[in-house]
Structure 1
Amino acid sequence: MNEITDTLAVLAVDDEPPALDELAFLLRARPEVGHVHTAGEATTALRLLQGGGIDAVFLDISMPGLDGLELAGILRNFATPPDVVFVTAHDDRAVSAFDLGAVDYVLKPLREERLAEAVRRIAQRRAPATGTDTTPGDEVIPVELGGITTLVPRSSVRWVEADGDYARLHTDTASHLVRIPLSSLESRWADAGFLRVHRSYLVALPLVTGIRSVGSGLVVCMRPVGDEAPVELPVSRRHTRELKDRLIRGPMQSWTSR
C-alpha cells in the first residue's frame, strides 16, 4: 500500500443539516483527513471549490437547485478537478455517477467502515507512487452484496461481460455484478489495456493468449487460471481487425488461427 504522506482537504456537501453534520463528523475522524469544509447546497460548494485547495468532495445527489450530479459535471471541467465521492440514499444513480468519473458511491445510511474505505481510496490515489505492489492509477470498483462491500481492482479483472444495464466483472477467483454498463467501462478502461471484442465482452489484452477460428467466426483465448481450461470468448466481425492490430502491436503475445 502506498504510504500516505499528506492529509486531505475535503468538502462535505448535503442540504440536510443532520446528514451533513454526521458526514463531517465521520470525515474528521479519519486520520487521512486534515481539514473538512462543509456546504449546505451545491452553489456554495462550487464557490468553495473555485478557490482551490480541496482534494475531494463527498457529495449528496438530491439537493434543491443545482444537484450533485450537475455539480460533478461542472467539476470535470476544472483544470485540476477534485475527486468526487457520492454519498446518497439513491441506489439507482450509480451509472450516472461513474460516468461522471466518481471515485466511489456510498449509500446512506452511512456506515463508518464504508466511508473509511472511500477515504482510503482517495488517499491512495493521491499518494506518491512508491514502486510497491499497487498499480499506479488502478481504478477500484466497489461491489455491494448483502451489506458487505468488496473493492475489486481493475487490474484483477480478466474480462467483463454485459448483463443488460449491468456488467459482470470476471476475476481469477469470482465474478461481480455491478450497476455500470459495458459501454462506460469500455471508454474508461481503454487506456488500461481493455478492448471491446464483442457487443457483450470487454477483455484485458495482456491476458489474451491468442485468437482462433471456430466455424465461421473467431474466439479470443484468455490465459487460463491454474489447471482450469482456457476461457474462449466470441469476437464479432466489426472488432476483429482492431483486435488483431492491437495484438500484433502489443508486446504480450501473438495471435494464432487454426
Structure 2
Amino acid sequence: MKHALVIDDNPQNLRVMVQLLAKQGVTSTEILDSRQLPGLLPTLTQIDVIFLDLEMPGLDGYKVKDLLKSRFSATPIIAYTVHVSEINAARKLGFDGFLGKPLDNVRFPDQLARIFNGEPVWERG
C-alpha cells in the first residue's frame, strides 16, 4: 500500500487531499504545522509521495522541501498551492511536480497514478 505525507496549514485543504488519497487506496500522514516537521522527521518511515503546500507560516514550503530532501531524496515532492504563479519557482527550486488548488477530484486519480509511475506532473489545476 502506498503512503503519502501531506503538509498543509489549512485544515480544509488537508482534509480534501487526505480524502482524495484515501479514495485511491493511499494512506497518509498529515502535518498541519510545518514547524513540527523537524521533530517528526525521524519518526517518518515509508513515504511514497509528499504533497507540500508552499504558503505556510513558520517554515514555508521551500524550506520544508529542503528538510525533506535530506531524508527522502528519492521520494517525489509535489508542490500544491492556490498560487499557480509559483509553478516556475517550484520547478527551479527542485520540486518534482506541481498541482494547483483547488484540486480537481476528477483528474486527481490520473495525476496521482502518473506521479507514482515517475512521470512529471506540472499542472495549474
Give the TM-score band, short-chain normalised.
0.7 to 0.9
Q: Is contact 1:61–1:86 with CA below 8 Å preserved after alignment?
A: yes
Distance change in 2, residues 1:64/1:79 (3 Å): closer
Structure whose alpha-carbon radius of gyration is higher = 1
**3-state SS of paired residue (2:84):** coil
Deviation at 1:99, TM superposition (A): 2.3
2:48 aligned with 1:37: no
- Separation in 2, partners of 1:78, 1:100: 17
1:101 aligned partner: 94
Q: Is contact 1:8–1:123 with CA below 8 Å preserved after alignment?
A: no
2:46 aligned partner: 53
State the one-letter code of the partner of 1:18. Q
The aligned runs of 1:5-84 (5 Å cut-off) are 7-31=1-25, 33=26, 35-51=27-43, 52-78=45-71, 80-84=73-77
- Taking structure 2 as the reference length, what is the TM-score of the superposition? 0.82
2:116 aligned with 1:140: no
* Superimposed CA distance per residue, residues 178-219 of structure 1 (whole angstroms, 9 cap, x where no aligned partner): xxxxxxxxxxxxxxxxxxxxxxxxxxxxxxxxxxxxxxxxxx
Q: Is contact 1:46–1:71 with CA below 8 Å preserved after alignment?
A: no
**3-state SS of paired residue (2:117):** helix
The list of structure 1 runs, each at least 4 consecutive aligned residues, that deviate by more than 6 angstroms after superposition, is none
Unaligned runs of at least 5 residues, structure 2: none
- Taking structure 1 as the reference length, what is the TM-score of the superposition? 0.43
Deviation at 1:118, TM superposition (A): 3.1
Which one of 83, 91, 115 corresponds to residue 122 of structure 1? 115
1:169 aligned partner: none
- Separation in 1, partners of 2:53, 2:123: 20
Q: Which has the higher helix share?
A: 2
**3-state SS of paired residue (2:59):** coil
- Cα RMSD, aligned residues only: 2.2
Unaligned runs of at least 5 residues, structure 1: 1-6, 126-138, 148-258
Q: Is contact 1:106–1:114 with CA below 8 Å preserved after alignment?
A: no
State the one-letter code of the partner of 2:15. D
Distance change in 2, residues 1:80/1:66 (3 Å): same
Q: Is contact 1:60–1:68 with CA below 8 Å preserved after alignment?
A: yes
- Relative contact order, higher structure (CA 8 A, sep 6+): 2
Q: Which has the higher strand share?
A: 1
- Separation in 2, partners of 1:28, 1:107: 19
Distance change in 2, residues 1:44/1:116 (3 Å): farther
- Separation in 1, partners of 2:13, 2:61: 15
> Kindly, what percent of the aligned residue pairs are identical?
28
State the one-letter code of the partner of 1:43. R
